[in-house]
Structure 1
Amino acid sequence: MEYAKAEDLLPEELLREIQRYVHGGLLYIPNRPNERKKWGEGSGAAQYYAERNAEIRRDHRAGMQIEMLSQQYGLSIERIRKIIYMKK
């Protein structure tokens, strides 16, 4: 999130109207709902976890035991099970 000076962006009338409600404070203006990114899209986390989970499923199909997967990926046994058995 980047900050911008309202007086550089907004028409003077709108700025005065906003100042009636926010007296020199900070104001957060969210994106429109249809412009919002899903979790992890901006940072790449969603892609990273999707690839990791696919690798875990491949390793399991290749015969690696859940306990070994847990140790290799640093995840709990229960989390490994959820990844293996979750529907895509």
Structure 2
Amino acid sequence: MKYKNAQLILPDALVKELQSYVQGEYIYVPVEQEQQKRWGEVSGYRKELEQRNQKIKQEYQSGISINCLAEKYCLSLYAVRKIIYQK
């Protein structure tokens, strides 16, 4: 998140209105709910995890044990079971 000078991006009337509430402090303006992205969507990490989890499921279905998968992917047995049995 980068800070921006309100005087550079907002109309003067709006800056004056904001100054009646707060001066010389930081204000966080949240993203609208409709435009908000889920965790990992911007970086692409969510997609990477989905691909990894799909691969784990396929390998389990082809006969690789949960212990081997946990070791291969550096995950706990609980985490691998959770991925495998996830709907």
Per the normalisation by structure 2, the TM-score is 0.94
Bigger mean CA offset, 11-20 vs 69-78: 11-20
- SS of alignment partner, residue 39 of structure 1: coil
Q: What are the ranges of 5 or more consecutive residues in structure 1 without an aligned counterpart?
A: none
**Alpha-carbon distance between aligned partners in 2 of 1:37 and 1:74, rounded to the nearest angstrom:** 28
Partner of 1:35: 35
Kindly report the root-mean-square deviation, in angstroms, between the aligned alpha carbons of the 2 structures: 0.9
**Alpha-carbon distance between aligned partners in 2 of 1:3 and 1:49, rounded to the nearest angstrom:** 31
* Partner AA of 2:53 in structure 1: N
- Matched ranges for 1:1-88 at <5 A: 1-87=1-87
Shift of 1:3: 2.4
Q: What are the ranges of 5 or more consecutive residues in structure 2 without an aligned counterpart?
A: none
Shift of 1:30: 1.1
Q: What is the count of residue pairs matched by the alignment? A: 87
- SS of alignment partner, residue 57 of structure 2: helix
**Alpha-carbon distance between aligned partners in 1 of 2:73 and 2:20, rounded to the nearest angstrom:** 54
Identity rate, percent: 39
Shift of 1:12: 0.8
Shift of 1:31: 1.1
Bigger mean CA offset, 54-63 vs 14-23: 14-23
**Alpha-carbon distance between aligned partners in 2 of 1:69 and 1:20, rounded to the nearest angstrom:** 59
